[in-house]
Structures are given as structure tokens and as C-alpha cells.
Chains A and B, each alone.
Chain A
Amino acid sequence: MKNIISRLLMVFVVLALFASCEEQIETTQPDNNPPDLAFGKLSNFSQLINSPYDRMQAFNYLTQYHMLAGDALADNGRLVNNTGRYVGELINQNGSHYNYWGLYASINDCNIILDRIDTLYKIPSQNTTANRVTIRTIVAQALFLRAMAYFDMLRVYSYEPNQIANNWDKGVVLRDRGTLDVSTIDKRPRSSVEESYQFVERDLLRAIDSLSVPGTTIPNQPFRPIRATAHALLARVYLHWGKNAEAVTHANLAITTKPAAIRLATAAEYPGMWNTAITAGRVESLFELRIFPGSSGSNGDWSTVDGVNESLHSLTTTGISTASQFVIAASNSLIAAYEPNDVRRNLWTPVNIRGQEFQMCLKWSGSGVGAASPGFWADNIPVIRLPEVYLILAEANFKLGNEAAARTALNTLRANRGLPAVTAVTTGVDLFNRIMNERRVEFAFEGQRWFDLKRNGQNIPKENADPLAYTDFRVLAPIPLNQIILNPIIEQNPGY
């Protein structure tokens, strides 16, 4: 008995050794390279930098949500068809708010690039003159996209540094190193909003430095940011920060460094600009996120139902394309905000829906729906348009007391919108309100209204309802609950 068992055990052990040959169970995963190998080639960084652009096309970020929530949460929107979308935002329902926590995925892509790309300089085959230019453009894009992501989160989750309410000065969780290994993930609290702004500022200044080296050009304009874009975004950041002098400086730099091709559309060109084919990009765009027809990043395929369900065109229009949903129209106060002869007013058209008249937005044309061009439901997202730079100049100059300069900037834009100049009669609060109103009509249904009001600590007016007080907890978005559970030292915004 014993003998047999011991013999069997011996055979088992021999067999076990034989089976333990790992080669037998070796497998391969095609099209996937170990990171260390991949990081030795510039071509991989050129593809890696596309990842944050791809992620930005998430439906809840730089597509319909970013463009419409800022109008719905404030006073620009009116519900047409109740499909469930923007119903909560329009009445500022608890929890119906931005969810931008997912932007950390893009931030990590950028962090990984910034951590690793310098190693290419040590590899002779990679360290060529041409490559060095490409490396700089990739670094600049990574810095820009990281800054933009952090800044958009700051606008959503935090009060602006000089508009703190409820003593709540939390910014966002800042990470500037890429995560490749979980052991490097330390639990961090939210930095203060001041520190967070400094971080964004630093990134943009570095991006500008990188792009200021002569000969450094980023291809695919306006679908990737350029130096002028970085100045413009930085001006936007300073304006929110209350650093108005710096805002003016960089707004001016954006104007002086931009290519001539990027310019204000004239009053005659303006309505047609919104119909520009998606392959070309709009003339005023300093940075436009290109939506790829037939696919919208990792988040869906616009050529099928996602186009109907998620596109700006579908949500804002009816009667142009079959099956459009027409969820949101202009509020009465928005239409009333247009002055006579404003060419921008022509982008609104009345539509009768079940006996009620609604003002339909024509900005989001679906870029050629029904025409031969392949634009199924797709509209590129203008992330920063040149008019904003002029309006930053106006607002920041006003806040600095330079009312004449403010009027000049304002009037430059107004001249291109078919409007008479604002004269020196308009001063003080009146001038400020004019600038605010100009922003409201210029960026209607581009998602800026909420941030305009919030940046200035104003209560949020609502149609047919009491305004939402600036101090109300619903002005800030909730951080996803599961993240608070995972990392309890991330402090939830008050009220949630």
C-alpha cells in the first residue's frame, strides 16, 4: 500500500515538473506592446497624445453636455421635448450637474507623456532635429490639455479664488505624475483652489514656452491647440482668477500671435460660419475639437442611434434632420437679450410645437446632414473662439478700471455682429452688464453662461422661478460618491 502511494507520488512529481513548463502556456496578445518598449519610440507618443482628444469626445464632456449644460443650468434654456435630458438641469435639481471627474483619465494620459517623453533624447535614433520639434509639440499639447482639464474641473467643482462662498476654498486633486503602477497612487486630498489655479497657470506658461521656440508648429489646425490658443486659455484662467492684468496681457498675446487665418467672422459671414464643413474648421476657432463622423471617440458611434440621442444637432433642432429630438430651445430672456440688427439673432428661428412657439437654435447644423458631405449629426466643438478673447479683454479691462479699452474690445466684436459701437456714455455697471450681455448672446448654447454668472459671484436667474442664490450648494457639482468612499480624504462639496 504505502509502497504504491509513494511510487504514485513520485510519478506525480515528475509529471508536475513536466507540466510546469511555462512555455506550454505562453500566449500572445496582438497589437499590444509592453510600455517600456513602446516608450522608446516617438511614433508611440504621437499616437498616445491622441488619447486625451479621443476621451474628450465623451458625451458628458466636450460634446453636447459641455455646450448645453451651462445654458440649461443658467437662464438661457427652455425645455421643449421631455426626453429626460436637461430636465433636471433646467430646474437645478439636486444632482443634475456636471460630472467631470472622468477627466482624470485624460490628465493621466498627459502625465504619462510628460513623464516619459524626455527619455527619447537619450536614444540616438530618436533624437533627430525633426523629432525634437515633434517632441516639443507633443509636450505642449499634453500641457495644454492637462491645464484645460484641470481648469474645467475647477470651474465645475470649486468656487473661483476671489469668489469663495461658504468658506469653501477646495480646488481639485492635483496629480502631475502619470500612473503606471498602482503602488504609486497615494491618497491625496483636494488642493486649495489657489494652488490649483497656480498649477494650471504653470502648465499653460510652459506650453507657451514650448510653442514659442521658432519652427515649432502643431499640425491639423484648428483641431489641435497652438500658441495663441494657450494664451487665450490662460487669459480665460486669469479672468476667473481675478488676475485681470494678466488676463489682458495674454488676451492681447493671443491676438498678436494667432495666424492671420484665424479672425473674427464678419457680420455677413457669421451665420454661415456655423455651417462650415467639419473637415475645415470654423474661421474663428482657436481650438476646435474635431468630431469624427461615424464614430465619436471611445464613447459611441454617431452614425447610428448615438447621433440621434447625443448630438448637439439632434438636441437643439427639429425639422432639419429626421428623428431630431429638439430638447432645448432659447429662453424668452435670451431672445430678449438680442439687440436689433444683431446677426446672431438670425441663428434663432421660431418653431411651433404643439401650439407653443419655441426659438430653435441654428448653430448646430449637423454639418451637412442630408447633404453629400459625411457629417452625420456631427458638429465640431469650438472649444475657444476668438470672440472670447475680445470679451476677456473687455471684462478684464473693465475690472481694471480701463473702461475705454473695455469698450474698444467690445466694439471690435460688435462691429462684426452688425451692431453699433457702445459709446463712452456706457460706463460702470451698465458697461459691465453690456459685456455680460454680449457674452450671453455671443456664446448662447456654447455652455458659457453658467460660468459667466458664477465667475462674477452672481445669483443665477431662472425663468418663471426664483433665482438660484450664488451661495446655494447647487452652484457646485457633486463629486461622485464612489470616489469619496474610495478616498475619504477627498472632501465632498457641501450639501451633497
Chain B
Amino acid sequence: MRRVLLMLTASLVLVTSAFAQERTVTGKVTSAEDGSSLPGVNVVLKGTTTGTVTDVDGNYKISVPSEGGTLVFSFIGLTTSEIGIGSRQTVDVQMAADVTQLSEVVVTGYGTVTKRELTGSISSVKGDVIENLPLQTFDRAIQGRLAGVQVASASGQPGGAINVRIRGTGSINASNRPLYIVDGVQMNTGGVSTQASSNALGGVNPNDIESIEVLKDASATAIYGAQGANGVVIITTKRGKAGKPVVTINAQEGIVEPLNLYEMMNAQQLAEIRIEAFQNNPNSGGAAAAIALHGDPNDANLTNFDWVDAMFRTSRLRQYDISVSGGDERTKYFLSGSYNFQEGQIIKSDWSRASTRLNVTSKLSDKLSVNANLSLSSQSSFGTIADGNFVNGPLVAAFLAFPNVSPYDDEGNFVNYGDFTGGHLFGYNILQGVNLERREAQTLTTVSNMSFTYTITPQLKVTAFGGVNVDLTRDYNNRPGSIPAFASTNGSALVADRRFINYNTNVVADYSKQIGDKHKIGALLGYEFKGETRDQISGSANQFGDPSFLLLSSGTPSGATGVFTEYKRNGVFGQAKYDYDDRYTVDFTIRRDGSSRFTPGNRYGTFYAGSAGWRISSESFMSGTTSWLDNLKLRVSYGVTGNSEIADFGWNQTLGSTTVAGRYLNAATVRINRPLGVPLGWETSTQTNIGVDFGFLSGRLSGSIDAWNKINSDLLFNQGLDFTSGFGSVLANVGEVKNQGIDFELGLVPVKAGDFTWRVAYNQTIQDNEITKLPDNAPRLNDLTVGESINVFYGARYAGVNPANGRPMYYDINNELTYTQTNADRVIVGDGFIRYFGGVSNTFEYKGLSLEVFFQFQGGNDVFNSDLFNIEAAASNTDNQRINQLERWRNPGDITNVPRAIEGGEPEGSGLGVFSTKQVADGGYTRLKQVTLSYQVPSTLLRKVGITSLRVYAQGLNLATFTKFNGIDPEVINEAASSYGTYPNGRQLTAGVTLTF
């Protein structure tokens, strides 16, 4: 049976005033499935606000009028039962699982509704789905679990960055990140460090999460008005439940292995092909010069060092969690602590987090209750230089380094790599760099809030809420003088302190009333304020006496910086709902928001949405279908939301100081920061959604289909300017992008026989994206092109190698072959927009044994893999080459795709760096994302030793990938641009145990 926690509103269930004549009814609530007692079940006297909750043993006691009445028993995931009391003193109830799951509570903006009432498009994941996954942040864990929510890790660095897109990519310059809300606190997102790929959401321990709701359509997000355009992700953490304390301990350990790295040439292979390259260029010094650089391929003693092997490793991870929850009728608590440690696949890189949380709710009186969520976490990571063609980035340099040169001398000291390689990689010994350079980030995060709810009348409640999210980050970068590149300054050090303070506060009045049997109305009215400041100070020093010295004070001060920026937002919102007879639901939301990020006078915008639902299956004419139809509901919504995710001061023109570095003769320098454009205002998103929810055959098949259309207009766009004006771009509200798609969510129980169950959860989104308007009605702006997706890229069309002479050829605009492509020949050669994505999970359960097999997939997109510029250059640059370059052209008549090797590239014609179809590949993939095998030890055995539950499990992540991609990991590839040296994901294997007592 599903074990789900007490519904969030449970704490608000009210003890009502006494009736004149009453008596007490008691009873016990048990599970229809296994007869176990059910704590935390809501028991309400129908038509009143009289109610209570069952205790730890499932017992309850309630006052009822002497004439009896009807008791309503409800619990998340169970079918609500209505039982007439009659004259009974004891009412025992068995509750069955709710196959339709319509009673499931869904957290919406500033409130909750049951799935039954829902008219907007909201997807949710319960905490147990992502529990104990060795993924450091919750956004990574929801990948493939939700239709319409596209999640891709942007880095395989543990704790690293994640990209989330809800329903396409609507914005070009403004952020496409959804709004994240943790227990009502609006979160900082993005990276917090410059030294390690980081994720501001990493301060939240995924195991503390009760549920994640993703608000997708306008009707769901309009209550967040200004920030709703990219969707909203609402995270609710676990609450305590009444009863004796429950302690849960979880421990798991595992490993991470690198996946699918490029296979590079060994020293002999490289030397041989490089000799050929030198011989083909008369200015290069011929074979002797090549041998001087790369060694003699016939030399039996030729050094063969595997840099990739030395840089990547199989690394360890471990995770320990403990939580305690409990409480009584009045006060409930949830307390947790966790420690997480994971090494990266790149040597030195790692991440760790210690976190603690206390969630408390308490009824101070019949009218007043308080809720507080306090969390504190500390993350540290050791970073890796990635995402760029950097000689000091291991993800680039380890593949390129000469295999005939060892990073170490005979004594095991690092060599000056440049001395042996003709300054290859600017002489940077990447193994030395990664080992000796310190790149650390430490972040302290709190996400905390407190709210008071006052019940004015049973129908009207007012809640006052205040929350903060603070990230304090310190970055350390020490570049010791023992690395030759830093020797001239005797090493350097940078320490940067970043403070991010983000607070939001609101007051919300919530009214709901049942009028008669059939009418239910609800209304919400609120005011909210949010402020955010980011500031940073940093100091740097050089001239250290010894490479081991780390503190700034040990060197000579060389710089100091100060940065400050802030923004503020306020808004007022209202919502009205009406439900008739559980058949017709309508709601309307309006919000007016102001943001300091826009030009004064343009700061306020009004956003709104409406939606309606029709439960067809509750109509009397459908009464004949109840045997096979559980639920059928039609939903429509339409609305307009806003996006203000641009720079805080993008609107104003100032004469401002440049950085310290931007000085002349060490004197201060100012300049005009930007040209003044048209006043900036809101970017708006207009969204239409039509959806159907359905359930058949007592839960054997259920799901929903949503078709959506989203038009983002007045895009906040860095409009390119004719640079002769002195400026490259200006921020303006121009342009329009259209996204449309269909989301499917399907749950299926193909087999349910005895103790064996096979469940399938499937979701998929099919989507499309099109630019419908660009600034000045231009047909094209750089690569952005009207009528195409936002992510197309232009380039040359590679036509292969001329068999006569081995030279690379391209198609020109007239489809003629050419050696020298011109700008006019550049056409669209790829489209990075992901056209479909989703996931399928299969769960097999037999008694205590459970196996989950989860696939995640995406596709329909091309990717532009820049790594190939370096490693697939036909040995014409100096870098080590991927072994497929051995297929190079050698003799007239050779038919191959790899041109001849010629040092420095062909003098005539286009250079090595031509971006062409050669670097473009199909980016689609299907990944066996997760397999979890677990065994629940029978409770009969455990009870004797005082253990409630014991579960052991083993799981694997990223176990297999099916793709045509030409690089390492198709998941971390940037959809919009070229990707150099991305940090790939690894394969994780872990085993663990969860113990509850």
C-alpha cells in the first residue's frame, strides 16, 4: 500500500465549537489491503468543520450530534469513504487505495487542491520516487519523470549545473529557467561559484522532499504573474505526523565510472600521421621536424602515456541520511540530517554537502497556527575547468596532450610540458595544473520560512508568510608558482566572497465555502514583496614566497573588486474558483506585478488566466460507464504571464566605472555602459492549454494528454546593433517565439496477479519551436531566423574529400563543390531544438521485492560538437587525434571522409576551423537512466527486534546509452551553441540500506 504522508492541509483541520447536544463516536481506521492501522486519516463530520485525525494506531474520537450524521474519512492516495453513523458508538472503517488518485493533493501557488478539482496543467512527482537516488540535486532527479519538463544536466560535475525547460524555449536573452519555490521561498537559481560548476538548488537535500509540483500552463502559473512564463516548480518538504517518533536511517555507498570517452591515438599512431603532415607542408621542416616533436614511430622505446586514463578515474560516492518525525495533535515536527560526498570522474574534483532541516507546525490556539521550515546546508566542491576550449581544462587538454610525452620526469616530478612539445597547449602540463591548482567553492545555504495562519471564520483564513534564501559562497583559486605559467608572478591567489540574499513575504486571504450540496466557491487574495541582493568582494595577490602558501596575506596584494546589484518586485494577486456538483469547475486568476528591472514608468504589468474543467464521467448520462471508466475530465485554460529574468540594471544608461582592470595609467576609467533604447517592459507569454484526464479499468490505465501553445512576445532581446555605432547590442522588447506541443502522461498496470505487479509510467512531450518575429522585422539575426527554431546553426556543408588530392571540399550556395567556402555558402546545417523527450519507468513488484527500470530519452535535435575541431583535424593541427583520423586520405584515388594530413592545414582554401556539417550530429539518445532493485525485509521478522521497516537496495544510473552522437555524452551538450570540453555524466553504481524504527 502506498505510504504517503499526511496531507498538508491536515494541520489546518479545525476543531469546531461544540454543539448543544452531542455524543462521542470512536473507531479505528485500517487498510483494506493488509489490515494495518492507518494513522493520520482525516475524519470530518460532513457538512461541518468538525474533524479530527487518527492517531498512531489508527484510532480516532469525534464528537457528533446525538442524531448522528455522516463521517467522511479521507487520506491521500485512499478512496474517501462516507459512512453514516446512525446510532452507533463505534465506527470502524477499512479504507482502500484510490486507484483514480483523484484525492491526491496537488500544491498550487499559495494553496493546494485535489487532483479532482484541478483545471490547470500541473505535473507532480512524489518524494519517494526520487528518494535515495545518488543525485545531488532534486532538479536532476526529476529528469524524464514529468511530461513537458525537459531536464538536462549541463555538467557531470557532482552537484553541477542543470538546465530545466518547461514547455519549450520561449525566451532568447531572458532566462528560460523556471521559478523554483521551496516551501514558499522563491529560490536563487543558477551557479553560485566561479570555481566549480554549481547549482544554487544544491542546498536542498532531495531526501527531505515530500513532493515536487511543476506548474506548466498559464492557469497554474498566472498566480505567479511576472515570473510564471517559464513555469513554476514547487517543492514541498516533509512534515511530521502525529504519533510516536519515527526514525529513518539511510546509508548508501557506490562508485562513479567515466563513460564513453574519446579513443585517442597512441604515440606511434600519432607520430606516423604527423610525419605525413609535415611532409605535406614544405615550410614545416619535414619528417625530421615531426620526429623531433612526436618521436620516431619505429622507436621501440617511444614513450606512450595515456593522459586520459591519468585524468579520469572511477570515483566514490557515499550518502547518509537520518530523519526523525513525530508529534501530537497540536505540534508536529520533522527533523533531518544528511551527509553526501561524491568524487568526480576527473581527478581532484568532488562535491560534498552536509545539511540539516527542522520543519515544525503547531496549533497555537483554535484559530492560530504556525508553521516553520528551517534548513541549513554547507556544500563544498573542488571544481574542474570545463565548457570551453581551454588548455588548462582537463576535459579538453587531456585528450589533446602528446602521448609521446610523459607529464613526469624520472623522479616523478612534473615536467615543463611545453619544453617537450613545442609549446603545445601553450606549454601547460594539464596533469600538473589539475593536481596543483586549487579551485574550491564553499557555500552555506539556508532556505527558511515562517508563516502564521489565522482562521477568522471557518471559511476564511489569513496567512502571513516570510521566507529567506541566503547563499554565502566563498571561492578559492590558488595558482602556485610551481606551475610554469604562473611562475613569472610567483603564483597568484584569488579569494572571492559572494553573498546572495533573497527574501519574499506575502499575506494571503483564503476563502472557501460550500453552499448547499452542489456549489463550492473559493477565493484568494494576496500581496507579495520580493527583494534580492547580490554582492561580491574579492581580493587577489601574487608573488608568493612558496608554492605552498595559500593565504592572501602571504603574497603581494594585486587587486580588489566590489560588485553590488539588487532588484525588487511587488505584486498583488487574486483568484476566484467555482465548482458545481463536482462536474464543472472554473477559475480565474489575476496578478499585477512591478519589477525594478524595467524602465520607470514601464514597471507594472497585469497578468491573468482563466480555466475551466468538465468532469464528463460524473454526468448522469455517463452512469452506465462506471464499470470501466474511473474518470474522464476535460480541461481548458488560457492566460498571459510575464518574464523579467534579465539583468537588474539593464534599463538604465549610466556613465559608470569599468573594472579595476579597465584602467589606463592606473587611473580610473568610466564609459557609457549601454545605448539607450526603447524603455524596457515585461516579456509576455500567452499560453493556451487543452487537456484530458482519464482513468479506466479501476486504475489499470490512467493518464492525461495536454496540447499546448505558448507564444512569447515582446521578447527581452539583445538586439544586435550595427557595431559602427560603438555598441554591439541593446536590450529591447522585440521579437516573438512560438512553442507548441503535446504532453502525454500514462500509467499502466499490465499485470496484477497475486503478489506480482508490473506498473508502467510513461511520459513524453512532442514539441516544436519557431521564431515568428525578429527585431526590425529582419528575416535573420546572426543565426536566429524567422520560421526556424531558436537553436538552428549555420555552417558550411562538408562535401568530403577530393579523391584526387585529399583536400576537404564544401558545397557552395549553388551546390557546386568548392575548397573555399564563403559566408554566402553558410546555410542552416543543424537544429539544436529538442523535439521530443520523455521517460518510461517499469516497476515490478513481488512481495517485498521491487525492481524499477527507468529509461529516459530525447531527440529530434542536432548537436554541434566543437571537440571535433581539435581531435578530428586530420592531424593538421598539433593535437592528439581521435583514432578515426587514421582513415585520412593518403594516395590519389583514396575514398575517405578524412582529408590528407598537412601541418597547419591547407594554405589555399578554408582553414581548419571551418564549422561545417562535419561537426554536426544527431543529438537524440535513449538512456537506461536508472535500475533499482530493492528488497523489503518482511515486517514479521523485524517486529521482534523493534524495527518497523528494513529495505536494502542496489541501483545503477546511466547504465546504457543508445545514440548516434559523435561525442562523449549527448546529455550535457548545449542545445544552442557549440560545446567544447563539457563535463560528461558518469555511470553510478550504489548499494544501500534504509532502516525505520
**A residues lining the B interface (CB < 8 Å):** 1, 4-5, 8-9, 11-12, 15-16, 18-20, 22, 24-35, 38-39, 44, 47-48, 50-51, 53-54, 78-84, 87-88, 90-96, 101-102, 104-105, 107-109, 111-112, 173, 175, 178-182, 185, 187-188, 220, 223, 290, 292, 294-298, 300-301, 303-305, 307-309, 321-327, 353-356, 366, 369-370, 376-377, 463-465, 478, 480-487, 490, 492, 495-496
A4 CB contacts on chain B under 8 angstroms? 521, 523
B908 CB contacts on chain A under 8 angstroms? 94
Q: Are A25 and B488 in contact (CB under 8 A)?
A: no
B907 CB contacts on chain A under 8 angstroms? 91-93, 465
Asked if B90 is an interface residue, CB under 8 A from chain A, the answer is no
Q: Are B661 and A22 in contact (CB under 8 A)?
A: no
B234 to chain A: closest CB distance in Å?
A: 23
- Kindly report which residue of chain A lies nearest to residue B571, judged by CB atoms: A19
Q: Are B285 and A356 in contact (CB under 8 A)?
A: yes
B596 to chain A: closest CB distance in Å?
A: 4
B416 CB contacts on chain A under 8 angstroms? 322-323
The interface centre, meaning the residue of B392, B566, B670, B908 with most chain A CB atoms within 10 A of its CB, is B670
A282 to chain B: closest CB distance in Å?
A: 16
Ordered by A's residue number, 17 sampled pairs between the chains whose C-beta atoms are within 8 Å are A8-B523, A25-B569, A26-B568, A32-B673, A33-B654, A34-B654, A53-B665, A82-B424, A185-B722, A297-B662, A301-B661, A305-B485, A305-B486, A309-B426, A322-B488, A354-B289, A366-B488
Encoded as 1 (CB less than 8 Å from any A CB) or 0, chain B from 282 to 314 comes to 111100110011000000000000000000000
Q: Are A111 and B726 in contact (CB under 8 A)?
A: yes
B197 CB contacts on chain A under 8 angstroms? none
- Kindly report which residue of chain B lies nearest to residue A1, judged by CB atoms: B521
- Kindly report which residue of chain B lies nearest to residue A11, judged by CB atoms: B525
Encoded as 1 (CB less than 8 Å from any A CB) or 0, chain B from 555 to 599 comes to 000110000111111111010101000000000001010111000
Of A19, A107, A173, A181, the residue contacting B572 (CB under 8 A) is A19
Q: Are B492 and A304 in contact (CB under 8 A)?
A: yes
Encoded as 1 (CB less than 8 Å from any A CB) or 0, chain B from 616 to 653 comes to 00000000000000000000000000000000110011
B952 to chain A: closest CB distance in Å?
A: 50
Asked if B848 is an interface residue, CB under 8 A from chain A, the answer is no
- Kindly report which residue of chain A lies nearest to residue B595, judged by CB atoms: A25
A109 to B564 alpha-carbon distance, docked (Å): 25
A483 CB contacts on chain B under 8 angstroms? 722-724
Q: Are A482 and B289 in contact (CB under 8 A)?
A: no
A42 to B578 alpha-carbon distance, docked (Å): 66
A188 to B723 alpha-carbon distance, docked (Å): 11
Q: Are A79 and B283 in contact (CB under 8 A)?
A: yes
A308 CB contacts on chain B under 8 angstroms? 426-427, 485, 488
A-B contact sample (11 more), CB < 8 A, given A27-B596, A95-B911, A323-B418: A22-B600, A28-B566, A32-B654, A34-B654, A35-B654, A38-B670, A51-B670, A54-B663, A108-B672, A298-B658, A486-B721
A30 CB contacts on chain B under 8 angstroms? 564
A490 CB contacts on chain B under 8 angstroms? 722, 724
Asked if B909 is an interface residue, CB under 8 A from chain A, the answer is yes
A218 to chain B: closest CB distance in Å?
A: 12
A463 in contact with B283 given A11-B525, A32-B656, A323-B488 (CB within 8 Å): yes
Q: Are B823 and A54 in contact (CB under 8 A)?
A: no
The interface centre, meaning the residue of B492, B652, B660, B726 with most chain A CB atoms within 10 A of its CB, is B726
A54 to B676 alpha-carbon distance, docked (Å): 23
Of A32, A104, A376, the residue contacting B726 (CB under 8 A) is A104
B727 CB contacts on chain A under 8 angstroms? 105, 108, 179, 182
The interface centre, meaning the residue of A96, A108, A495 with most chain B CB atoms within 10 A of its CB, is A108
A111 to B726 alpha-carbon distance, docked (Å): 10
Q: Are B781 and A304 in contact (CB under 8 A)?
A: no
B186 to chain A: closest CB distance in Å?
A: 15
A31 in contact with B657 given A303-B489, A355-B288 (CB within 8 Å): yes
B608 to chain A: closest CB distance in Å?
A: 11
Compute the total of residue contacts between A and B using a CB distance below 8 Å.
338
A4 to B525 alpha-carbon distance, docked (Å): 13
Q: Are B572 and A292 in contact (CB under 8 A)?
A: no
Encoded as 1 (CB less than 8 Å from any A CB) or 0, chain B from 13 to 36 comes to 000000000000000000000000
Q: Are B492 and A295 in contact (CB under 8 A)?
A: no
Q: Are A290 and B392 in contact (CB under 8 A)?
A: no
Chain B, range 921-943, C-beta contacts under 8 Å to A: none
A47 to B564 alpha-carbon distance, docked (Å): 21
Asked if B753 is an interface residue, CB under 8 A from chain A, the answer is no
The interface centre, meaning the residue of B488, B604, B656 with most chain A CB atoms within 10 A of its CB, is B488
B652 CB contacts on chain A under 8 angstroms? 29, 32, 34
A323 in contact with B487 given A102-B723, A303-B492, A354-B293 (CB within 8 Å): yes
Q: Are B661 and A296 in contact (CB under 8 A)?
A: yes
- Kindly report which residue of chain A lies nearest to residue B590, judged by CB atoms: A12
A8 in contact with B726 given A35-B672, A308-B426 (CB within 8 Å): no
Of A12, A28, A94, A101, the residue contacting B911 (CB under 8 A) is A94
Of A16, A111, A323, the residue contacting B484 (CB under 8 A) is A323
A297 in contact with B570 given A109-B726, A323-B485 (CB within 8 Å): no
Q: Are A355 and B292 in contact (CB under 8 A)?
A: yes
A24 in contact with B568 given A33-B654, A47-B667 (CB within 8 Å): yes
Q: Are A29 and B664 in contact (CB under 8 A)?
A: no
Q: Are A108 and B722 in contact (CB under 8 A)?
A: no
B808 to chain A: closest CB distance in Å?
A: 13
B672 CB contacts on chain A under 8 angstroms? 35, 108-109, 112, 180
Asked if B457 is an interface residue, CB under 8 A from chain A, the answer is no
Q: Are A34 and B653 in contact (CB under 8 A)?
A: yes
Q: Are A8 and B574 in contact (CB under 8 A)?
A: yes
Asked if B905 is an interface residue, CB under 8 A from chain A, the answer is yes
A421 to B725 alpha-carbon distance, docked (Å): 50
B456 to chain A: closest CB distance in Å?
A: 15
Asked if B458 is an interface residue, CB under 8 A from chain A, the answer is no
A53 to B658 alpha-carbon distance, docked (Å): 13
Q: Are B725 and A185 in contact (CB under 8 A)?
A: yes
A495 to B909 alpha-carbon distance, docked (Å): 11
A327 to B904 alpha-carbon distance, docked (Å): 13
A176 to B232 alpha-carbon distance, docked (Å): 49
Chain B, range 597-616, C-beta contacts under 8 Å to A: 600, 603-604
Asked if B542 is an interface residue, CB under 8 A from chain A, the answer is yes
Q: Are A179 and B726 in contact (CB under 8 A)?
A: yes
A12 to B653 alpha-carbon distance, docked (Å): 35
Chain B, range 879-927, C-beta contacts under 8 Å to A: 903-905, 907-911
A182 in contact with B730 given A20-B592, A307-B488, A376-B489 (CB within 8 Å): yes
A123 to B310 alpha-carbon distance, docked (Å): 68
Of B283, B289, B725, the residue contacting A175 (CB under 8 A) is B725
Asked if B878 is an interface residue, CB under 8 A from chain A, the answer is yes
Q: Are A294 and B559 in contact (CB under 8 A)?
A: yes
A44 to B425 alpha-carbon distance, docked (Å): 43
Chain B, range 412-437, C-beta contacts under 8 Å to A: 416, 418, 422-428
B676 CB contacts on chain A under 8 angstroms? 180-182
A94 in contact with B487 given A32-B652, A48-B671, A303-B558 (CB within 8 Å): no
- Kindly report which residue of chain A lies nearest to residue B905, judged by CB atoms: A93
A484 to chain B: closest CB distance in Å?
A: 7
A185 in contact with B662 given A94-B910, A303-B492, A322-B488 (CB within 8 Å): no
Encoded as 1 (CB less than 8 Å from any A CB) or 0, chain B from 478 to 518 comes to 01000011111100100000000000000000000000000
A58 to chain B: closest CB distance in Å?
A: 11
A44 to B656 alpha-carbon distance, docked (Å): 10
B337 to chain A: closest CB distance in Å?
A: 38
A32 to B647 alpha-carbon distance, docked (Å): 15
B230 to chain A: closest CB distance in Å?
A: 21
A37 to B762 alpha-carbon distance, docked (Å): 61
A138 to chain B: closest CB distance in Å?
A: 13
A108 in contact with B726 given A82-B422, A220-B665, A294-B558 (CB within 8 Å): yes
A376 CB contacts on chain B under 8 angstroms? 488-489
Asked if B668 is an interface residue, CB under 8 A from chain A, the answer is yes
A29 to B651 alpha-carbon distance, docked (Å): 11
